[in-house]
């Protein structure tokens, strides 16, 4: 673990002791707790070989979540692969907002998630609202398979209808059903020309389809805003994640469609991370 941490630090990475421990645990097939308890035992040669292979991937800046195959979100384990964005703590703001705005956990809410990815938003909400049913739309078949596996692992697959579809196609929303009480989305919102300048873990490894928001980063919001009136029940809510300094423009797109703006929700960094609207 010491040698792994030294190699990771030399590659310019942060949190190297934690990452070295996680990589060694994966190489040895041990939990962190077991690794600590068995830390004085000699490491088998096969573990050292596996650790070197995992370290090489991380030094190339492959995200830890892809190497480990899992990422925690809202205290729940989500399988991830290079087909999906890595769930981020900032996106948990969406869950906080939904629970505050829809406090009745027992109601059979109907929830729609556009741009499903790993399913972290929709499936977490279905866990929090045990009577709710949800529909998720995802344009990537490999990503949809990841979400389906997560739905089954979390025990909500019986209440989740996960569909392949693309909001860039004509009439994309007509087969989703509805109306819905809540629409959530973490759509692609990076300006296309800015993607290559992002940190290597993102620009080299995360799926471009889930990052590329078009020339101004707002293409997906336009598609969602145009269909929102048909998708929501009266009084239904929209929660969409926003990039830095995008909230005001996103509000304008939805308000031009007759959707009422509510106060945005800030993430832990104080950024307006979730745009909140009501039909």
For 7-46, the pLDDT digits (tens) are 999 999 999 999 999 999 999 999 888 888 887 888 899 9
The mean pLDDT value for 94-103 works out to 97
Q: What is d(CA 26, CA 47) in angstroms, rounded to the nearest whole number?
A: 9
What pLDDT sits at residue 198?
A: 96
Q: Which residues of 115-135 are buried (b: 16+ CB within 10 A; e: fewer)?
A: bbbbbbbbbbbbbebeebbbb
Residue spans of beta strands (DSSP E) within 145-186: 160-164, 180-185
Q: Are residues 41 and 103 in the same domain?
A: no
The mean pLDDT value for 121-126 works out to 98
Strand-pair partners of 3: none
Q: Are residues 54 and 87 in the same domain?
A: no
What pLDDT sits at residue 86?
A: 97
- Specify the 3-state DSSP secondary structure of 111: strand
pLDDT at 1 over 90: no
Percent of the chain with pLDDT over 90: 93
> Would you say 176 and 112 are in contact if contact means Cβ atoms under 8 Å apart?
yes
Instruction: Give me 199's structure tokens.
Output: 């940190």
- Confidence band of 157 (pLDDT split at 50, 70, 90): very high
Q: Are residues 31 and 151 in the same domain?
A: no
What pLDDT sits at residue 78?
A: 98
Q: Are residues 171 and 269 in the same domain?
A: yes
Residue 239 lies in a domain: yes
Residue 246 lies in a domain: yes
Show the domain range for 14.
2-60
> Would you say 187 and 224 are in contact if contact means Cβ atoms under 8 Å apart?
yes
Q: Are residues 130 and 205 in the same domain?
A: yes
For 59-72, the pLDDT digits (tens) are 999 999 999 999 99
Q: Are residues 48 and 97 in the same domain?
A: no
DSSP string computed for 116-147: -TTSHHHHHHHHHSTT-EEEEEES-HHHHHHH
> Would you say 88 and 64 are in contact if contact means Cβ atoms under 8 Å apart?
no
Residue 145 lies in a domain: yes
Q: Are residues 167 and 251 in the same domain?
A: yes
- Is the pTM value of this prediction over 0.75? yes
Residue 73 lies in a domain: no
The mean pLDDT value for 76-90 works out to 97
Q: How many domains does the chain have?
A: 2
Q: Are residues 56 and 86 in the same domain?
A: no
What pLDDT sits at residue 15?
A: 93
pLDDT, mean over the chain: 96
Residue 49 lies in a domain: yes
Q: What is the CATH number of the domain that holds 146?
A: 3.40.50.150
Q: Are residues 25 and 135 in the same domain?
A: no
Q: Are residues 54 and 155 in the same domain?
A: no
């Amino acid at each position: 673990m010491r040698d792994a941490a030294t190699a990771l630090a030399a590659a310019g990475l942060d949190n190297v002791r934690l990452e070295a421990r996680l990589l060694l645990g994966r190489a040895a097939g041990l939990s962190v707790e077991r690794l600590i308890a068995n830390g004085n035992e000699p490491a088998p040669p096969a573990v050292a070989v596996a650790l070197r292979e995992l370290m090489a991937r991380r030094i190339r800046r492959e995200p830890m979540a892809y190497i480990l195959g899992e990422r925690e979100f809202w205290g729940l384990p989500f399988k991830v692969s290079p087909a999906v964005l890595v769930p981020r703590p900032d996106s948990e703001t969406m869950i906080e907002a939904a629970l505050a705005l829809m406090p009745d956990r027992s109601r059979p809410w109907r929830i729609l998630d556009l741009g499903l990815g790993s399913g972290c938003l929709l499936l977490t909400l279905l866990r929090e609202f045990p009577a709710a049913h949800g529909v998720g739309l995802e344009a990537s078949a490999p990503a949809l398979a990841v979400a389906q596996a997560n739905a089954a692992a979390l025990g909500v697959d019986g209440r989740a209808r996960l569909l392949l579809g693309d909001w860039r196609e004509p009439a994309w929303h007509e087969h989703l059903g509805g109306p819905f009480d809540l629409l959530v989305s973490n759509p692609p919102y990076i300006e296309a020309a800015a993607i290559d300048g992002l940190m290597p873990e993102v620009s080299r490894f995360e799926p471009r389809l889930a990052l590329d928001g078009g020339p101004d980063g707002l293409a997906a919001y336009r598609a969602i805003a145009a269909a929102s009136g048909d998708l929501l029940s009266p009084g239904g809510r929209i929660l969409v994640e926003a990039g830095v300094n995008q909230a005001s423009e996103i509000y304008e797109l939805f308000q031009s469609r007759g959707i009422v703006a509510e106060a945005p929700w800030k993430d832990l960094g104080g950024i307006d991370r979730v745009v909140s609207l009501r039909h």
